Chains A and B, each alone.
Chain A
């Protein structure tokens, strides 16, 4: 029988577990990303700015008469600089366009079959893609098999972007800081729209299931037809957003909370990373990977592409929904 260690409460594993569950916050002391600017200070600043503008206008008016010479010179200098800046930026843009057009005049004609871009790499993907990846859609076979780490990087870029937006826009709902409480009250914009709008709810009732099924269809058929994780995930995310708009946060929180978001994206990205590392490792060492490619054209075919598409679709759907809620009210 195992005995509990005496310092179990402070053990590293329990602290890690608490941190994963979001019960403790390692940055709880002393990090405050919310700017502390009171209303009064802000009004003062706006007034200063307005005063300055009035002062500038006064100066331009005075320049007709004579006043202090250096001040007039200063105001004139700023105006001249602004004009100069506009002219120079237009000239710069025209220069860039003309240089690029000149380059294009030297490029081969669009649509030619023997252009240097259509080299042996593309030929190899087309000729051997179906046998090696099992995907009928050659683009999907390329991005999720030959170049799978590229797509992994893309999903990570999306995930990191959503993390950055979370850091910038999240407002802690249980915060005791008065400023943050006020910001939450300000950003809650549901007061300004009709609650339980019957037209929107009935439309969403019909549309949301169709949109969801369409999104799932696009994700699952990524290797057979145009589509895949990114486009299907965007469709799924838009379905979630429509449901949220029609029925509100309370009903949405039964299906989708911040915890669900975090766990889904983390699991999807980890699975993607491990599965693809395994398949690249076996492939590079000429080992049998044991992943069947199936018959091309069937839905359960093409090895790892289908699960990877599902992972990418989950990440994209969660990210789109997270972007929406964070921009809307600063939290999920």
Chain B
């Protein structure tokens, strides 16, 4: 199994990065750090997709000198999917950051536990 993992080194690194991001999401109470963890998870996904589309020894899928054989280029589909992923992650990051700004303005804190306590108090009054 270890040998196979070393052959699939890109995917292995991607999975470990994903785990690191998830751990940050769970363990940190600071909202900004949670968003950073989310972004690390996004990056892990891109690495995984890009490594799935790679074929050893082949060129990027841009036609040069009219060569149009399948054996000349890597798989173009995962590249397009990575593009989609990047755009969506930019959008979600902007949305999360703006929500964080509003929460900070209201509760003057970035600590999620503190915010939850304050919000519960507010609900009771």
The answer to whether B60 and A168 have CB atoms under 8 Å apart is no
The answer to whether A125 and B8 have CB atoms under 8 Å apart is no
User: Which of A24-32, A69-77, A136-144, A256-264 forms contacts with chain B?
Assistant: A136-144
The answer to whether B11 and A104 have CB atoms under 8 Å apart is yes
Nearest residue, chain B, Cβ from A122: B75
Q: How far is the CA of A248 from the CA of B113 in the complex (A)?
A: 39
The answer to whether B26 and A327 have CB atoms under 8 Å apart is no
Whether A253 is near chain B, meaning CB under 8 Å from some CB there, is: no
Whether A97 is near chain B, meaning CB under 8 Å from some CB there, is: yes
The answer to whether A158 and B90 have CB atoms under 8 Å apart is yes
Task: Report B-chain residues with C-beta under 8 Å of the C-beta of A225.
Answer: 62
Known: A89-B27, A96-B22. A110 touches B11 (CB 8 A): yes
Whether A164 is near chain B, meaning CB under 8 Å from some CB there, is: yes
Task: Report A-chain residues with C-beta under 8 Å of the C-beta of B5.
Answer: 101, 104-105
Contact for A35 among B19, B53, B105, CB less than 8 A: B105
Whether A165 is near chain B, meaning CB under 8 Å from some CB there, is: yes
Known: A97-B15, A326-B98. A139 touches B26 (CB 8 A): no
The answer to whether B19 and A93 have CB atoms under 8 Å apart is yes
The answer to whether A122 and B76 have CB atoms under 8 Å apart is yes
Nearest residue, chain B, Cβ from A41: B122
Chain B residues 73 to 117 lying within 8 A of chain A, measured CB to CB, are 73, 75-80, 83-84, 86-88, 90-92, 94-95, 97-99, 101-102, 105-108, 114, 117
Q: How far is the CA of A296 from the CA of B19 in the complex (A)?
A: 44
Task: Report B-chain residues with C-beta under 8 Å of the C-beta of A323.
Answer: 94
The answer to whether A169 and B8 have CB atoms under 8 Å apart is no
Q: How far is the CA of A45 from the CA of B118 in the complex (A)?
A: 7
The answer to whether B76 and A142 have CB atoms under 8 Å apart is yes
Q: Mark A116-156, 1 if CB is under 8 A from B, else 0.
A: 01100111011101100000111100110001001100100
Contact for A117 among B8, B70, B75, CB less than 8 A: B75
Chain B residues 29 to 77 lying within 8 A of chain A, measured CB to CB, are 51-58, 60-63, 68-73, 75-77
Q: Mark A306-327, 1 if CB is under 8 A from B, else 0.
A: 0000000000000000010011
Task: Report B-chain residues with C-beta under 8 Å of the C-beta of A255.
Answer: none
Known: A107-B11, A138-B76. A327 touches B101 (CB 8 A): yes
Whether B123 is near chain A, meaning CB under 8 Å from some CB there, is: no
Task: Report B-chain residues with C-beta under 8 Å of the C-beta of A296.
Answer: 63
Nearest residue, chain B, Cβ from A167: B98
Q: How far is the CA of A259 from the CA of B20 in the complex (A)?
A: 43
Q: How far is the CA of A138 from the CA of B61 in the complex (A)?
A: 6
Chain B residues 9 to 31 lying within 8 A of chain A, measured CB to CB, are 9-12, 15-16, 18-19, 22-23, 26-27
Give the one of B11, B73, B94 with max A CB within 10 A: B94
Q: Mark A146-181, 1 if CB is under 8 A from B, else 0.
A: 010011001001101110110011000000000000
* Minimum Cβ distance to chain A for residue B94 (Å): 5
* Minimum Cβ distance to chain A for residue B53 (Å): 7
The answer to whether B63 and A142 have CB atoms under 8 Å apart is no
Interface on B for A, CB 8 Å cutoff?
1, 4-5, 7-12, 15-16, 18-19, 22-23, 26-27, 51-58, 60-63, 68-73, 75-80, 83-84, 86-88, 90-92, 94-95, 97-99, 101-102, 105-108, 114, 117-118, 121
Instruction: Provide a sorted-by-A list of 25 A–B residue pairs whose CB atoms are within 8 angstroms.
Output: A49-B118, A52-B117, A89-B26, A89-B27, A100-B18, A101-B12, A105-B1, A107-B11, A109-B8, A115-B52, A115-B55, A117-B77, A117-B78, A126-B69, A126-B72, A130-B68, A136-B63, A142-B77, A150-B80, A161-B91, A164-B95, A165-B95, A168-B98, A168-B102, A183-B105
